[in-house]
Amino acid sequence: MDKILVGLKRVVDYNVRIRVKPDGSGVVTDGVKMSINPFDEIALEEALRIKERGDASEVIAVSIGPPDCQQQLRTGLAMGADRAILVEADQETDPLAAAGIFLEIIGREQPDIVLLGKQAIDDDCSQTGQMLAALWGRPQATFASKIEFSNGTASVTREVDAGLEVIDVDLPAVITTDLRLNEPRYVKLPDIMKAKKKPLEVIGAGDLGVDMSPQFSAVRHEPPAERQKGVMVEDVDGLIAALKDKDLLG
């Protein structure tokens, strides 16, 4: 294999407590820590391990979004990616538009594998990888928990409702990663310093000719209902009575 393309999305850090804006138009992001989508970080870690085994020669990190996404790309470069590409977009990018942008980058870079996280933790759409495979006309393997290569094919173990499923896909292919695939490495200070010298290309989304028109829009955001205080009961009879009072037991 020659190149591996990895998508990195900028999201609110998973340790941050999400707060909805008072007008319900979205979530608060001002002053909030942002990081690489955890599933995308796993995808990058797997790409780096593939390269370290000698099965690939270059790892390219790609992000779509505002200029601030350079921070996450630099983190990806510090982890070990060889170079990065930022496709600047001023508006929110839905899965179909993101897939179209990735397709244009694929046309430029001609990677053997595209690794994406199975979903982003901000919208949980889990659609970009599948749409990209359809647009590209190449095989896909989603929710990967193990990846092995042999003779131009990838053997992917994926998690399904009934357990584990193993499928073989011809390369090039799109693979989306699940949590059990690996544990991403910690970034060390020397690697952060080296990342500043690695190439980071910036491309305007409009220059790629992709239709960025949104396919859907969020009408309103609401926080989840507060959890009600629990009720202590003294015995089984008290539990049954409490359940009947809440119409949870006939």
Instruction: Summarize pLDDT for 154-163 with one digit per residue, the tens.
Output: 999 998 888 8
Residue 176 has pLDDT above 70, yes or no: yes
Mean pLDDT within 229-234: 83
Residue 1 has pLDDT above 80, yes or no: no
Mean pLDDT within 214-232: 83
Instruction: Summarize pLDDT for 114-169 with one digit per residue, the tens.
Output: 999 999 998 889 999 999 999 999 999 999 999 999 888 999 999 888 889 999 99
Q: Residue 250: which pLDDT band, with cuts at 50, 70 and 90?
A: low
**Please, what is the angle between helix 70-79 and helix 38-52, to 10°?**
30
Give the integer Cα–Cα distance in Å for 41 and 13: 12
What's the confidence (pLDDT) of residue 222? 86
What's the confidence (pLDDT) of residue 162? 86
Which range among 32-46, 184-198, 203-217 shows the weakest confidence by mean pLDDT? Answer: 203-217
What's the confidence (pLDDT) of residue 154? 94
What would the CATH number be for the domain defined by 3-222? Answer: 3.40.50.620
- Spatial CB neighbours of 182, under 8 Å, sequence gap ≥ 6: 42, 45, 46, 49
Residue spans of the domains in the chain: they are 3-222
* Mean pLDDT taken over the chain: 92
- Spatial CB neighbours of 190, under 8 Å, sequence gap ≥ 6: none
Instruction: Summarize pLDDT for 22-68 with one digit per residue, the tens.
Output: 888 888 888 889 999 999 999 999 999 999 999 999 999 999 999 99
Residue 237 has pLDDT above 70, yes or no: yes
In terms of average pLDDT, the best of 91-100, 101-110, 225-234 is 101-110
Residue 109 has pLDDT above 80, yes or no: yes
Q: Do 87 and 205 touch, CB atoms closer than 8 A?
A: yes
Residue 112 has pLDDT above 80, yes or no: yes
* Number of Cβ atoms within 10 Å of the Cβ of 183: 10
What's the confidence (pLDDT) of residue 40? 97
Angle 160-166-167 from CA coordinates, rounded to 5°: 110
